[in-house]
Amino acid sequence: MNLPLGIFVDTRTKAIVQGITGSQGSFHTKLMLGYGTQIVAGVTPRKGGTRVHNVPVYDTVEEALKKHEADVSVIFVPAPFAADAAFEALEGELKILVIITEHIPVRDAVQVMARAKRQGAVVIGPNTPGIITPAECKLGIMPAHIFRRGTVGIASRSGTLTYEIAVGISKMGLGQSTCVGLGGDPVVGLSFVEVLREFEKDKHTEAVVLIGEIGGDMEEQAAEFISTEGYAKPVVAFVAGRTAPLGRRMGHAGAIVMGGTGTAKSKIEAFKAAGVEVAEKPSDVAKMLAERLRGKDIFGGAESET
Amino acid sequence: MKLFEHEAKEILSKYEIPIPNGGLANSPAQARETATRVNAPVVVKAQVLVAGRGKAGGILFANSPREAELSSRKLLGAEIMGLRVQCVLVEEKLLVRRELYFGITLDRSSRSYVAIASSEGGVNIEETAATAPEKIVKVFVDPLYGFRPHHARQIVKKLGYMGDQMRELVAIFLKLYRVAMDYDAELCEMNPLVETTQGKFVAADARLIIDDNALYRHPDFQRRLIEEGGTELNEQELKARKSGLAYVKLDGNIGVIGNGAGLVMATLDVVELYGGKPANFLDVGGGASSDKMAAALDLVLSDPRVEVVFINVLGGITRCDEIAEGILEVKSRIGFVKPMVIRLVGTNEEKGKRILTEAGIQVLDSMEEAAERAVEIVKAGR
């Protein structure tokens, strides 16, 4: 067996699913299990004692963790109850939360992030497709077949756009070490900077792709980090929303230019100033990566693809 | 959801934050009555959901009830920055010593709320922050700990107040924080917060934006939005919202539909890159059914400026066959009134493509190619 690769999650990862009996929770638990991900337990209040795809279900996280060892919770709980589910997971000392739920109020999200920070837990999302280390572990709702084991780390604020770019990378003969969706909300747990740090430490990751969009200043912070730290690996970026009007929310709660901050122009300029190549079109990302990684013996090295 | 000034002030008043004497008027006669009751010079303010209405002529002064009636006649039914004035707020004109700013808003970088104050209120606070940052006081709020009296005192000292005035201001700041939290505010501000010539503090203007994702906790406003409108959204945008579609009207002629906010934004960018102008942003979301796809297509086709529709779907949890069925449903109902360019890949791609090609509709594989085609069609139609 190959050594585990990627960041945050690998073959050893054990997860519980909160909201496992709902239609989304149950459907994606099946797909995650099919991918080989270890889902050891599920939690849905009042459904304790049942099973979903043969995974035992408990009423509380506390009970689930008494019977099973786990380090991650994947949360599919509906928005009005999602923050409480996240707090429950944090009180259970889980190290990583993957919050798939969209439409969680910001006031709830800031409290979850503050609590997670206090105990050093990582929150992926909310409003994320999740995280995948191809051929090892998938925690989320992304279509697995478009990813292949490889050396490109991807961090993104969007779902389908990530798939678009990941397909291109896979077709180019490159694959992904880990692909992590930060989430489309204004307040999310992980930033590009934190993911860049992880990818820098990961010896399997040869290059990083950042997929940003309008709103906030996460991309500008990443650019600042890359230039001041002298980031060791090539980074290619794409920023969606160059043509988005000011003050309008573009689908994602977090995709909005407010008071002149968060424009695509500002992000693209910051990246370019930091020496990061910025793709004009999604399909250019794979080409730019291929160019940057030329000469490195990483093409076609995906024999363990699922 | 943006609240009208009068709605925001009603909330502030409920929390015992001083607001000017006055009331809402739907007719000139009512404006006159209110001005009579106030019994002093008044301000007549158009209730529209846009910043900068003062410069656009939306705020008028009146020295008598008769003048208030005339001013409101001018404003009611008029358009201020493209928005129709349905009602006006008639309030006593304050005698101003100083205009302050105080607001609570979300700070995305620190993943927390921030209290912002300035001794120079009455103007755009973002401009002040950019041009004279030394005039801005900021306190970041730990979400698990809250905005506390000593935080308010720190701010008040920096604004230069003490004694009774300090006590009054601290109380107002704490109340506004309470409002911001209780109403799930994305932004809650008093601008200006006026210090009157008597040394009292009054919220002369107030803005409150409720986090859309938290609207279920504020059913009165949710109902108001859905039933009465009264929103910055136009008719199509409101309709989209009711059908669970994310739609933003733009000023071009290429209607765009896709799945996923990032993908649709990128699609708009690529359309512009090839020299086209998108007519709208429309995200059908993840796992859209054929019904939702049909609703999306109907919405885009209802825009008379749309000359071609570009559908860009990459199926993950969305199934291409559902998308195809939705397109066919619209075709069988109203026919193809506008040319369509469709890019369809991903989950159940073969099935989706078969459904469309059998109906004589061509499907493309690359979004760039499809964008180029859409732009060509518009140009050829000229």
B11 and B103 in a single domain? The answer is yes
A270 and A158 fall within a common domain: yes
In the listed set A124, A159, A193, which residue is the last one of a domain according to the structure? A124
A157 vs B contacts (CB less than 8 Å): 262
Q: So which residues of B are the catalytic ones? A: 101, 189
Q: Do A213 and B144 touch (CB under 8 A)?
A: no
Q: Tell me what pLDDT residue B335 has.
A: 83
CB distance B316–A259 less than 8 Å? no
Chain A contact probe: residue of B126, B222, B281 with most A CBs at under 10 A: B281
Q: Are residues A170 and A280 in the same domain?
A: yes
Tell me whether residues A143 and B316 touch, CB distance under 8 A.
yes
Q: How many domains does chain A have?
A: 2
Q: Are residues A76 and A169 in the same domain?
A: no
- Which positions in chain B touch A87 (Cβ < 8 Å)? none
Q: Write out chain B in H/E/C secondary structure.
A: CECCHHHHHHHHHHCCCCCCCEEEECCHHHHHHHHHHHCCCEEEEECCCCCCCCCCCCEEEECCHHHHHHHHHHHCCCEECCEECCCEEEEECCCEEEEEEEEEEEECCCCEEEEEEECCCCCCHHHHHHHCHHHEEEEEECCCCCCCHHHHHHHHHHHCCCHHHHHHHHHHHHHHHHHHHHCCEEEEEEEEEEEECCCCEEECCEEEEECHHHHHHCHHHHHHHHHHCCCCCCHHHHHHHHCCCEEEECCCCEEEEECCHHHHHHHHHHHHHCCCCECEEEECCCCCCHHHHHHHHHHHHCCCCCCEEEEEEEECCCCHHHHHHHHHHHHHHHCCCCCEEEEEEECCHHHHHHHHHHCCCCEECCHHHHHHHHHHHHHHCC
What is the share, in percent, of chain B residues with pLDDT greater than 70?
A: 99
Alpha-carbon span B4 to B1, nearest angstrom: 10
CB–CB contact B108 A213 (8 Å): no
Say whether both B69 and B165 belong to one domain: no
CA distance A107 to chain B (A): 6
Answer with the residue of higher pLDDT: A51 or B347.
Answer: A51
Task: Identify the residue among B111, B277, B281 best suited for mutation to test binding to A, counting A beta carbons within 10 A and taking the highest.
Answer: B111
Contacts of A115 (CB under 8 A, 6+ apart): A87, A90, B144
Residue A230 within any structural domain of the chain? yes
Residues of chain A with pLDDT under 50: 1, 300-306
Does residue A1 lie in a domain region?
no
- The complex's ipTM? 0.92
Whether B115 and B151 share a structural domain: yes
- Residue A282 domain flag: yes
Interface probe, candidates B212, B263, B350, chain A, greatest A C-beta count within 10 A: B263
Q: Can you give the pLDDT at residue A304?
A: 41
Record: contact A105-B213, CB cut-off 8 A: yes
Q: Which of B108, B188, B233 to mutate to test the interface with A (most CBs of A within 10 A)?
A: B108
Residues in chain A: 306
- Tell whether B167 and B209 lie within a shared domain: yes
CA distance B108 to chain A (A): 6
Q: State whether B111 and A113 contact (CB < 8 Å).
A: yes
The model's pTM is 0.94
User: A118 lies in a domain?
Assistant: yes
Instruction: Indicate whether B44 and B118 sit together in one domain.
Output: no
Range of the domain at B260: 235-380
Interface contact A161-B108, CB threshold 8 A: no
Find chain B residues with C-beta within 8 A of A146's C-beta: 346
Q: Are A269 and A215 found together in one domain?
A: yes
Which of residues B73, B93, B113 is at a domain's end?
Answer: B93
pLDDT recorded at residue A305: 39
Does residue A215 sit within a domain? yes
Both A56 and A165 in a single domain? no
- The radius of gyration computed from the CA coordinates of chain B, to the nearest angstrom, equals 26
Task: Determine the average pLDDT of the residues in B271-281.
Answer: 97
Closest by Cβ to B263, choosing from A146, A160, A217: A160
The verdict on a CB contact (< 8 Å) between B258 and A160 is yes
CATH of the domain at A65: 3.40.50.720
Task: Give the closest-approach CA distance of B73 to chain A in angstroms.
Answer: 31
d(CA B283, CA B241): 11
Classify residue A3: in a domain, yes or no.
no
Tens-place pLDDT, residues B123-178: 888 888 888 889 999 999 999 999 999 999 999 999 999 999 999 999 999 999 99
Asked if residue A190 and residue A83 are part of one domain, the reply reads: no
CA–CA gap between residue A2 and residue A10 (Å, rounded): 11
The mean pLDDT of B184-188, rounded to a whole number, is 97
Range of the domain at A217: 142-293
Instruction: Give A258 to chain B, closest Cα distance, Å.
Output: 10
Predicted confidence (pLDDT) per residue in B67-94, tens digit: 999 999 999 999 998 888 999 999 999 9
Q: Which residues of B touch A263 (CB under 8 A)?
A: none
Looking at the fold, whether B140 and B277 belong to one and the same domain comes out as: no
CATH of the domain at B46: 3.30.1490.20
Tell me the chain B residues in contact with residue A186 when contact means C-beta distances shorter than 8 Å: 106, 108
The total number of structural domains that make up chain B: 3
A281 neighbourhood in chain B, CB within 8 Å: 266, 269-270, 273, 368
Q: Which of B176, B203, B231 is the last residue of a domain?
A: B231
Contact A110 B143 (CB under 8 A): yes
- Measured between CA atoms, the residue of chain B closest to residue A168 is B366
Residue ending a domain, among B93, B115, B135, is: B93
CATH assignment of the domain containing A155: 3.40.50.261
State whether B273 and A164 contact (CB < 8 Å).
no
pLDDT for B381: 83
Residue of chain A nearest B257, judged by CA positions: A251
In tens, the pLDDT along B98-111 reads 999 999 999 999 99
B154 and B216 share a domain? yes
On whether both B26 and B149 belong to a single domain, the answer is no
B272 and B374 in a common domain: yes
Kindly state whether residues A212 and A258 are assigned to the same domain.
Answer: yes
A118 and A239 together in one domain: no
Q: How far is A166 from chain B (nearest CA, A)?
A: 12
Inspect the interface and report whether the beta carbons of B113 and A110 lie closer than 8 Å: yes
Indicate whether B298 and B259 sit together in one domain: yes
Domain assignment present for A67: yes
Query: What is the least distance, in Å, from the CA of B12 to any CA of chain A?
Result: 19
**Do B118 and B183 have their domain in common?**
yes
CB contact under 8 A, A141 and B270: no
CATH code for the domain in which residue B367 is found: 3.40.50.261
**pLDDT tens for each residue of B195-231:** 999 999 999 999 999 999 999 999 999 888 877 766 7
Nearest chain A CA: its distance from B64 CA (Å): 38
Q: What CATH number has the domain bearing residue B191?
A: 3.30.470.20
Q: Tell me what the pLDDT averaged over chain B comes to.
A: 94
One domain for residues B227 and B239 = no
Average of pLDDT values for B47-52?
88
pLDDT at A299 (0 to 100): 54
- Does A137 reside within a domain? no
Which residues of A fall within a CB distance of 8 Å from B246? 249-251
